[in-house]
Amino acid sequence: MNSSAPAPAKANDFIRDIINSDLEAKRHQKVITRFPPEPNGFLHIGHAKSICLNFGLALDYREKLPNSGTRCHLRFDDTDPVKEDTLFEEGIQEDVRWLGFNWDGLYHASDYFEKMFEYAEHLISAGKAYVCSLTDAQIKEFRGNVTTPGKASPFRERSIEENLDLFRRMRNGEFKDGEHVLRAKIDMSNPNMKMRDPLLYRIRHTAHHMTGDKWCIYPMYDYAHPISDAIEGITHSICTLEFENNRELYDWVVDNLIDYAKFPSRPHQYEFARLNLNYTVMSKRRLLELVEGKHVDGWDDPRLPTIAGLRRRGYTPESIRNFCAGVGVAKANSTVDMAQLEFCIRDDLNHKAPRVMAVLKPLKLVIENFPDDEVQEQEASYWPHDVPKEGSRKVPFCKELYIEQDDFMLDPPKDFYRLGPGKEVRLRYSYCVTCTDVVKDADGNVIEIRCTYDPETLGANPVGRKVKGTIHWVSARHAVDAELRLYDRLLSEEAPPAGKDSEFLNAINKNALQVLKGCKLEPSLANAKASERFQFERQGYFIVDSKDSKPGALVFNRIVTLKDSYARAQQKK
């Protein structure tokens, strides 16, 4: 073993196992991967798993194989002009970059259309492909089904000359959509239906967002993908499980072209299980239905698991990368618990988001023994003791405050550590107060709390008694009003009802968005900038909405609540 041999990568998933053994066996000297989205929609967190895998592989092995040419391409799989658009390409690039990855080369399958055409002619000349003039219904019928072998197309034995002529005339636009297709000549009785003379090209008189009107025939995925991989020198072509049956065709295409085309690599396809998450939907179709049916407010609606949605919701790229690393890569279908994602964002924001105070549902509190006009500035740290960061601000304190409605109960149980008649609590960063009276409206609702404060308790524990609870507050005279959008899980059920088209809409969580207006923020938040994140103490992590928030009319999105063991215990009762 020569001493410059690469140290084997730390194997922590089956893909890396494969790559390590390829490297050891010297089948490759470098690793080239690609992320190949079709530009026909927006990326979601399932794509993030693939992005982290493919780009992560390049990053890992570049470290182990310096100067080897190890890299990861971004390639748009743009073979169906009917559905694809430049707009989607821009969104996808933004999302990949936001996630923190840079591609080594931006490619399009359409870059290779000319080569693909030439290779198709080669296949025809080799007797491996033919022009079929059956209708789509006939092709379907001739294909048979999973238990019944298909039958040969009557056009299967056309001469090479006629096939070449027809194929070139297809390209020249002499036929209408659907009149002919180019098919691989493989085996109509193959138990793998993908091998029953699969279509290679179809006629589509449709402009393409990259090639314009140059083409009116377009290659199919199963033909274009292996060729694109081979041309780019991809070594490990990683895709999801539903392509397992396509692998045999992938290999057929590469094997039948490799001697002729002199590809720089002989790529191999490997399949891993796509990400599923409970309490949400991940399929393109369902996402599209939510957006087009106006069940949500666009592709970046913070309830959606799209990258754009998660970004607007306030998720950080790090949290998503950590999540992807945490769920791992394997071949078994699985559904990850949403709690895992929520853990990742809390874990990241815990040391990134400064603490501030905000009252979501205000209840007036008046301190009877505090001077009417006095305003004290209380020093409040932005960070808790266990976050090693410095910084604080002054929070104004006066006779009239707002506290959270949920922090007061008229007749509290004994494990309620907050405020009630006669009870004492700590006001965060400030004094302890004791409730002496309540004011009710005509309907008997509590509209104001009267308290006295203990001047000895600023920065000191009260003597002779233990005060267990601490609540947040905001000075009523200094509060800044804001709109808070409380987001929760998209679905109220773990898994949407399977099957039936739109049935999943019934599982939508009606409380996935709750809009609160007139929330009271501490004044330091008045100048919060778009996309700034905070922890509102005892409530959750929030971000200034990037679209709707304006100075003087602040809008915050709740990213995730804090864990609340008290609320959880109450629920169980």
Give me the active site residues, please.
38, 274, 284
**189 is a site residue for RNA (CB under 7 A):** no
Check residue 12 and report its DSSP letter. -
**Part of the chain binding RNA (CB under 7 A), chosen from 89-97, 117-125, 384-392, 522-530:** 384-392
141 three-state secondary structure: helix
Judged by CB under 7 A, the residue of 160, 410, 447, 569 near RNA is 569
Does 453 sit near RNA (CB under 7 A)? no
| Cα–Cα distance measured from residue 97 to residue 51, given in angstroms and rounded to the nearest whole number | 10
Residue 4 gets which letter from DSSP? T
Measured distance CA(446)–CA(454) in Å, rounded? 23
Residues 91-110 within binding reach of RNA (CB under 7 A): none
Q: Is 564 in the site for RNA (CB under 7 A)?
A: yes
User: Smallest distance, Å, CB 548 to RNA?
Assistant: 26
**Maximum Cα–Cα distance across the chain:** 103
Q: In this chain, which of 42, 101, 113, 243 binds RNA, going by CB under 7 A?
A: 243
- Can residue 343 be called a binding residue for RNA (CB under 7 A)? yes
Binding to RNA in span 529-548, by CB under 7 A: 535, 537-538
Q: Does 350 bind RNA (CB under 7 A)?
A: yes
Residue 21 in contact with RNA, rule: CB under 7 A? no
User: Which of 222, 229, 522, 545 is close enough to bind RNA by CB under 7 A?
Assistant: 222
Question: Within 10 Å of residue 516's Cβ, how many Cβ atoms?
Answer: 14
Q: Is 566 in the site for RNA (CB under 7 A)?
A: yes
Size of the site for RNA (CB under 7 A): 94
**Alpha-carbon distance 251 to 220, whole Å?**
15
Q: Using the rule CB under 7 A, is 384 a contact of RNA?
A: yes
Regarding 8 and contact with RNA (CB under 7 A), the answer is no
In this chain, which of 140, 205, 214, 389 binds RNA, going by CB under 7 A?
A: 140
Q: Please report how close the Cβ of residue 71 comes to RNA at its closest, in angstroms.
A: 21
Q: For residues 396 and 476, what is the distance between their CA atoms, to the nearest angstrom?
A: 10
Identify which of residues 262 and 572 has a Cβ nearer to RNA in the complex: 572
Residue 152 interacting with RNA (CB under 7 A): no
Q: List the one residue from 259, 415, 443, 501 that touches RNA (CB under 7 A).
A: 415
Sign (positive or negative) of CA dihedral 309, 315, 318, 324: negative
Answer for which of 47, 236, 355, 478 binds RNA (CB under 7 A) is 355
Binding residue (CB under 7 A) for RNA from 6, 13, 165, 492: 13
Q: Is position 79 an interface residue for RNA (rule: CB under 7 A)?
A: yes
Residues in region 263-282 near RNA by CB under 7 A: 273
CB within 8 Å of 383: residues ≥ 6 apart: 354, 355, 389, 390, 391
For RNA, which residue of 104, 165, 187, 244 counts as binding (CB under 7 A)?
Answer: 244
434 part of the interface to RNA, by CB under 7 A: no
d(CA 144, CA 100): 47
d(CA 34, CA 16): 15
Q: How far is CA 74 from the centre of its chain?
A: 17
Closest approach, Cβ 304 to RNA, in A, equals 20
Q: How far is the CB of 66 from RNA (least distance, A)?
A: 25
Q: In degrees rounded to 5, what are phi and psi of residue 73?
A: -95, 150
Nearer to RNA, 25 or 332 (CB): 332
Nearer to RNA, 126 or 567 (CB): 567
For RNA, the closer of residues 203 and 227 by Cβ is 203
Q: Residue 552: CB partners within 8 Å, gap ≥ 6?
A: none
| Residues whose CB falls within 8 Å of the CB of residue 403, separated by 6 or more in sequence, listed in order | 359, 362, 363, 365, 419, 449, 471, 472, 473
177 touching RNA, by CB under 7 A: yes
Tell me the C-alpha distance between 516 and 530, whole Å. Answer: 19
Q: Is 572 in the site for RNA (CB under 7 A)?
A: yes
How many CA atoms, within 13 angstroms, populate the side-chain half-sphere of residue 444? 1
Instruction: Please give the structure tokens belonging to residue 177.
Output: 């959509």
Task: Please report the beta strands in 48-116, taking only residues with DSSP state E, as ranges in sequence order.
Answer: 71-76, 106-108
Cα–Cα distance for residue pair 298/537, rounded to 1 Å:
30
Q: Which of the stretches 41-49, 90-98, 328-336, 508-516 binds RNA when contact is defined by CB under 7 A? A: 328-336
Residues 4-19 as b/e (b if ≥16 CB within 10 A, e otherwise) read eeeeebeeeeebbeeb
Is 169 near RNA (CB under 7 A)?
no
- Output the DSSP codes for 438-462: EEE-TTS-EEEEEEEEEGGGTTSPP
Report the residue number, 73 or 301, with the smaller CB distance to RNA. 73
Q: Which residue stretch of 208-216, 310-318, 379-387, 473-481 sits at the interface with RNA (rule: CB under 7 A)?
A: 379-387
CA-CA distance, 541 to 549, in Å (whole number)? 16
- Measured N-to-C along each axis, helices 247-261 and 221-232 cross at an angle, to the nearest 10 degrees, of 50
| Identified binder of RNA from the candidate list 45, 291, 329, 474, rule CB under 7 A | 329
Q: Per-residue string for binding with RNA, 492-531, x by CB under 7 A? A: ----------------------------------------
563 is a contact residue toward RNA (CB under 7 A):
yes
